[in-house]
Homo-oligomer: A and B are copies of this chain.
């Protein structure tokens, strides 16, 4: 592979002059520039960017940590981040944690070993002091995943308000027996769940613990929920169900259709995310739209501003929108 030295020898100029031509610096004669550029093309020379990084200290790469790229929510988020990063001359490295905390640590190490300029954490397995410190240094921006227990600065949606509004809508439609499907374990402090409970309380509805379905997050999980509901005595069954994600809601809907449960007459379904699938289904899914694109773009802008030494906002709360369609 040709190096800058080869180009220097071939053209007769010093490596410094070659360097100036590569970087479009002033103080090179037009003649020198032309000769050098032509020679570089002839030799199929490309500056070794590793060597450039060594001096410039920037890799122009940022990492994005998500749980699963096959989850459309994250695919759209990565899309938004990549678009904005590219605009600013950065490339995106994707890291999937796949629910293994030790993976997250690997990515932090890549940051510390300078393979990456910065990191967007769209999914945090474990919060710790190291992450907090990296945020302070402006090398890490958190988005999307919001622990109710330790508030980190970052870009999030107003989870509490989102479910509060969604459930209030259901109640106003006349539903009173409303079930809740959580993606993970039961956690009373969870912001979505507390918004859910808050809405019920506002209408003096008490929550029945048997209406809480834990650890459901995919299509199969949704189908299981319907089977669980069918095992309840008919008079005890919920009239509506809030599901923490559209995939889950899709599973609920498909199993309802299979089992002959009418939607929304027998069971209303409220999704979350507004993934494309929600408009393909019949009936079309009522769901909470997350501003994925905005979230991705803002996180990227904040990270890049930080990397450039600017001081952007620390904490951003985005609004969601209720997309009322046919399952409620």
Contacts and interface: CB of A to CB of B under 8 A. Distances in A.
Given A93-B61, A96-B79, A281 B279 contact: no
A48 B114 contact: yes
Interface in A51-106: 51, 53-54, 59, 61, 68-70, 72, 75-76, 78-79, 82, 91-96
A76 B69 CA distance: 8
Nearest to A59: B50
A277 to B, nearest CB: 6
How many identical chains are in the complex?
2
B94 A49 contact: no
A82 B70 contact: no
A163 B318 CA distance: 46
A114 B48 CA distance: 6
Contacts of A82: 69, 94, 96
A44 B47 CA distance: 32
A276 B223 CA distance: 14
A79 B75 contact: no
Given A46-B112, A75-B72, A114-B50, A92 B94 contact: yes
A327 interface: no
A206 interface: no
A76 B70 CA distance: 6
Contacts of A68: 79
A219 interface: yes
Interface string A250-261: 110110011000
A110 interface: yes
Given A46-B113, A69-B69, A91-B110, A250 B280 contact: yes
Nearest to A52: B113
Interface residues of A, number: 46
Among A76, A91, A109, A247, the most chain B Cβ lie within 10 Å of the Cβ of: A91
A279 B254 CA distance: 9
A112 to B, nearest CB: 4
A282 interface: yes
A194 interface: no
Contact of A93 (B91, B250, B258): B91
A203 B110 CA distance: 59
A37 interface: no
A115 interface: yes
A91 B96 CA distance: 11
Nearest to A68: B79
B281 A50 contact: no
A113 B280 contact: no
21 contacts: A49-B113, A50-B53, A50-B115, A51-B54, A69-B69, A70-B72, A72-B72, A72-B75, A75-B75, A78-B94, A82-B94, A92-B94, A93-B93, A219-B276, A219-B279, A219-B280, A247-B276, A253-B280, A254-B281, A281-B281, A282-B282
Given A50-B50, A94-B94, A254-B282, 10 more contacts: A44-B112, A46-B113, A50-B114, A61-B115, A78-B94, A91-B95, A93-B94, A254-B280, A277-B280, A280-B281
